[in-house]
Amino acid sequence: MSSRIIRIDSEPYQPFLDRAELPQKVAAGYAEQLWLLREIASYGSSLIRRCVDDREGVDLLGAVVLLSLAKQVVAMVDGCEILLSQSGVLAAFLQARALLESSVSIDWILARDSDVRARAYYVGDLRNQLAWADGVIPGTAQYQRLEESRATIEGMNITAGTVAAIETEARAQRRRIQNHLRRPALAPTNAAYEQHKGKRHYDPPWHKVVGASSVREMARQVCRVAEYDYFYTVASQVMHGSSYRQHFRVLSGKAIASNVRAPEGIDTLLRIVIATTSHTYRSILHRYRPDEEPQYAKKYAEEWRGPFMSIRPPSVEFRRQ
> How buried is 70 (Cβ within 10 angstroms: 0-12 exposed, 13-18 middle, 19+ buried)?
buried
Would 298 be classed as within a structural domain? yes
- How far is 189 from 204, CA to CA, in rounded Å? 13
* Domain end point (choices 209, 227, 249): 209
What pLDDT does residue 107 have?
98
Q: Give yes or no for residue 236 having a pLDDT over 60.
A: yes
How many domains are there within the chain? Answer: 2
What pLDDT does residue 320 have?
37
> Is the domain of 287 the same as that of 311?
yes
Higher-confidence position of 96 and 9:
96
Would 6 be classed as within a structural domain? no
The string of pLDDT tens digits covering residues 240-272 is 888 888 888 888 889 988 899 999 899 999 999
Residue % of the chain over a pLDDT of 90: 67
62-66, 152-156, 222-226: least confident range: 152-156
Return contacts of 212-217, CB within 8 angstroms, 24+ apart: 212/108, 215/101, 215/104
> Is the domain of 236 the same as that of 304?
yes
> Is the domain of 129 the same as that of 78?
no
Would 137 be classed as within a structural domain? yes
> Is the domain of 305 the same as that of 225?
yes
Q: Give yes or no for residue 159 having a pLDDT over 60.
A: no
> Is the domain of 164 the same as that of 42?
no
Confidence of residue 233 (pLDDT cuts 50, 70, 90): confident
Return contacts of 168-172, CB within 8 angstroms, 24+ apart: 170/132, 170/133, 170/134, 170/136, 170/137, 171/133, 171/137
Would 155 be classed as within a structural domain? yes
- How far is 61 from 66, CA to CA, in rounded Å? 8
The string of pLDDT tens digits covering residues 119-147 is 999 999 999 999 988 888 888 888 777 77
Contact 185, 118 (CB under 8 A): no
The string of pLDDT tens digits covering residues 286-321 is 999 999 999 999 999 999 999 999 999 997 443 333
> How buried is 243 (Cβ within 10 angstroms: 0-12 exposed, 13-18 middle, 19+ buried)?
exposed
What pLDDT does residue 144 have?
78
Higher-confidence position of 62 and 155:
62
Contact 180, 150 (CB under 8 A): no
Would 1 be classed as within a structural domain? no
3-state SS of 167-231 is HHHHHHHHHHHHHHHCCCCCHHHHHHHHHHHCCCCCCCCHHHHCCCCCHHHHHHHCCCHHHHHHH
> Is the domain of 90 the same as that of 35?
yes
What pLDDT does residue 162 have?
66
Domain of 43?
14-113+219-315
- How far is 60 from 63, CA to CA, in rounded Å? 5
Higher-confidence position of 238 and 118:
118
> Is the domain of 173 the same as that of 41?
no
> Is the domain of 48 the same as that of 107?
yes
The string of pLDDT tens digits covering residues 67-93 is 999 999 999 999 999 999 999 999 999
Would 237 be classed as within a structural domain? yes
The string of pLDDT tens digits covering residues 5-57 is 777 777 888 888 999 999 999 999 999 999 999 999 999 999 999 999 877 77
At residue 320, what is the residue type?
R
> Is the domain of 265 the same as that of 130?
no
Would 8 be classed as within a structural domain? no
What pLDDT does residue 318 have?
37
- How far is 214 from 218, CA to CA, in rounded Å? 6
> Is the domain of 306 the same as that of 245?
yes
pTM of the model: 0.89
Contact 15, 321 (CB under 8 A): yes
What pLDDT does residue 160 have?
56
The string of pLDDT tens digits covering residues 168-181 is 888 999 999 999 99
* Domain end point (choices 185, 209, 233): 209
> Is the domain of 18 the same as that of 109?
yes
* Mean pLDDT over the full length of the chain: 90
Enter the DSSP assignment of 304: I
Q: How far apart are the first and last CA of the chain?
A: 30
What pLDDT does residue 245 have?
83
> Is the domain of 120 the same as that of 95?
no
* Domain end point (choices 150, 185, 209): 209
Would 7 be classed as within a structural domain? no
At residue 299, what is the residue type?
K
